[in-house]
Amino acid sequence: MVARTSRFGRLVFNRDAIVRAALRAYVEVSLAHVDPLERHSFTACAFPGWTGDLQRGAFYNANGCGDYDVVAWTEPGVVGLAYELGAGPIEQLGLSIDAVTGGPEDVRGAVPDLPSELEPAFVMAVGLLGVGPEHGQMDAGVGFWLYGVRVAGTMFDDPSACGANRLAAWGLLRGDRLPLSCSNGVKFRADEPSAAPIHAIIDAVTDRALKGPTELTTDELATLVPKPPDPERLLCAQQRLQKVGITWPGSPEIPEEPT
């Protein structure tokens, strides 16, 4: 665990806490999306992505308006990269157009002095970045790395950098909950009263998934989908959740999500 003071407040970065929060945010949006009553509308993530597992994996967190962040982890630590619309490596990291490779080197400037032990996490994080339509560059404009009791990156060198708030959110966790990044800040929204049963399911399922493969219970499904859900949303949720070892009771083989 490493603590740093920033314009966003006191940030505390912890590898295991980041992984738990990434899993919870991924489960949260997946389950909230399938709820036919739409009781939980303010999820921490709008458009998620996941690869790997709890030992070696990555989470993509997008807001649907062009901004996103990615955190990737291996046993040694975590690498985080973020992009805000119009503030990629060319605009914010000084990458020249002639130097664009379409690979990790495009955004290496976001994580100066990256320990070699975190190179696999960095490569995983880059693999989830968007590709700039202008020059084919990997798009991230700010980053951080966490290794043991050390943390660094351009989010600390330039706290006003576009996208730094999205990375600061990972140092402002409340338990396993990721706050919302918006308007160049970070904040927690009060839970809608109607969302309380959904949060209870999210917490229970996440806790079980942290221990190994699990299945939604019939009681959880009765609460989550009191009436038939939209079939496309249901399939989307099932495809997402199977990536983290969560299945529906008695569900047949679920097709892989299109890439």
pLDDT at 207: 96
Give the pLDDT band (50/70/90) at residue 256.
low
Q: What integer is the mean pLDDT of 40-49?
A: 89
For residue 259, pLDDT over 60 is answered with no
> Where along the chain do its domains lie?
2-187
Residues 6+ apart with CB under 8 A from 237: 30, 31, 33, 34
* Mean pLDDT calculated for residue range 101-123: 97
- 90/38 Cα distance (integer angstroms): 40
Which tokens is 39 given?
A: 């009781």
Examine the pLDDT at 252 and tell me if it is beyond 60. Answer: no
Q: Where are the alpha helices (DSSP H) in 129-230?
A: 154-157, 164-168, 196-209, 218-224
Residue whose pair of structure tokens reads 């942290």 in the numeric block: 210
Distance CA(235)–CA(29), nearest Å, equals 14
Q: In whole angstroms, give the CA distance from residue 131 to residue 67.
A: 13
Q: Which of 218, 206, 197 is nearest to 244 (CA)?
A: 206
User: What band does 253 get if pLDDT is binned at 50, 70 and 90?
Assistant: low
Q: Reply yes or no on whether the pLDDT at 255 is more than 70.
A: no
Coil, helix or strand for 153? coil
When the pLDDT of each residue in the chain is averaged and rounded to a whole number, the result is 92
Which residue would you say has higher pLDDT here, 33 or 190?
33
Position 183 scores a pLDDT of 67
CA dist 61 and 68 (Å) reads: 5
What is the reported pLDDT for 114? 98
- Predicted local confidence at residue 134, as pLDDT: 86
Q: What percent of the chain has pLDDT over 70?
A: 94
What is the number of residues in the chain? 259
pLDDT confidence bin for 179, thresholds 50/70/90:
confident
Q: What is the mean pLDDT of residues 206-214?
A: 96
